[in-house]
Structure 1
Amino acid sequence: MIRRYGKPPREDQRYKARPGVYAVLPRGGHVLVTWKDGLAQEFQLPGGGIDPGEQPLAALHREVLEETGWRIGAARRLGAFRRFTFMPDYGIWAEKLCTVYLARPVRRLEPPREDGHEAVWLAPDAAASLLQNDGDRQFLVAALGVGVAR
């Protein structure tokens, strides 16, 4: 069974399955996260949805590049969690199945491609306290052994 973070699903709501991949990206005593501006402003682990027919690792590389401008390597699966949420950018209620990887940021290639995203380097304990999603926070704390899990 995959652990759920956040609110339980609403019985009056239908949810669209939305598999995604996300990365904990430590380097030089810091961790690379994404600041997302727009309808939902928040710090998040870089990543996002897996397109139909796309392999999870290919999606991870694509999403991290789009949101941070960084190429990554040595990705290792840490685990998965799910959460039920409204996605304002898409106007849908989703059951997000989030697979989290630990990866190494290799090189910055360009600025983030995705509008409203900014790559931010934070101390791991600061990232743990600023991540809005409890699942993201738990995986970051477990992977890096820092911060206080809520």
Structure 2
Amino acid sequence: MIRRFGEPVRADQRYRLRPGAYAVLARGTDLLVTHQAEPVPEFQLPGGGIDPGESPLQALHREVYEETGWHIAAPRRLGAFRRFTYMPEYDLWAEKLCVIYLARPVRPYGPPLEPGHTALWMPGEEAAHRLGNSGDRHFVARWLGWG
């Protein structure tokens, strides 16, 4: 069974499955995170939706690059969680199936390609409290050895 985080499921909504791949990108005790300005400003683990015909690892590499400008190496699956949410940028009620990887940030190739995203380094302990969704916070806390 995959653990669920976030807001409760709304019985009056139909949700579309939206699988995605996200990364805990560690350098020492710091994490490379992204800040998304819209639709709601928040810190996030880099990653996003898996496009049709794309593998989770292909999506992970593409999304991390788009949101941070960094290339990554050695991704290793940590686990997965589900969250049910409204995605205003897509006008979509989604059941997000979030697969979380631990990966090594190799080097930056430039600024984030995705508009409204800023890449920054944040202490892991701070990220465990400041990331915008409870599933991301859970996996960072696990990486820190908190649970």
SS at match of 2:99: strand
Query: Following TM superposition, by how much is the alpha carbon of 1:39 offset from its aligned partner in structure 2, in angstroms?
Result: 1.3
In structure 2, the gaps of 5 or more residues are none
Per the normalisation by structure 1, the TM-score is 0.95
- For residues 103-150 of structure 1, the C-alpha deviation after alignment (integer angstroms, 9 at most, x for no partner) is 00000011000000000100111111111100000001101326xx8x
SS of 2:4's equivalent in the other structure is coil
**Match status 1:51 vs 2:27:** no
Q: Which residue of 1 aligns with 2:89?
A: 89
Deviation >4 Å, runs of 4+: none
Alignment partner, residue 15 of structure 2: 15
Matches of 2:28 and 2:78 in 1, distance apart? Answer: 20
Query: 1:1-150 to 2 correspondence within 5 Å?
Result: 1-145=1-145
Whole-angstrom distance in 2 between the partners of 1:95 and 1:31: 26
Alignment-mate amino acid for residue 39 of structure 1: P
Partner amino acid, structure 1, of 2:78: L
Please, what TM-score do these two structures have when normalized by structure 2?
Answer: 0.97
5+ residue gaps, structure 1, are none
Letter matched to residue 17 of structure 2: A
Question: In the TM superposition, what is the alpha-carbon distance from 1:85 to its structure 2 partner?
Answer: 0.2
Q: Retained in 2: the 8 A contact 1:66–1:114? A: yes
Q: Indicate the percent of aligned positions where both proteins have the same amino acid.
A: 64
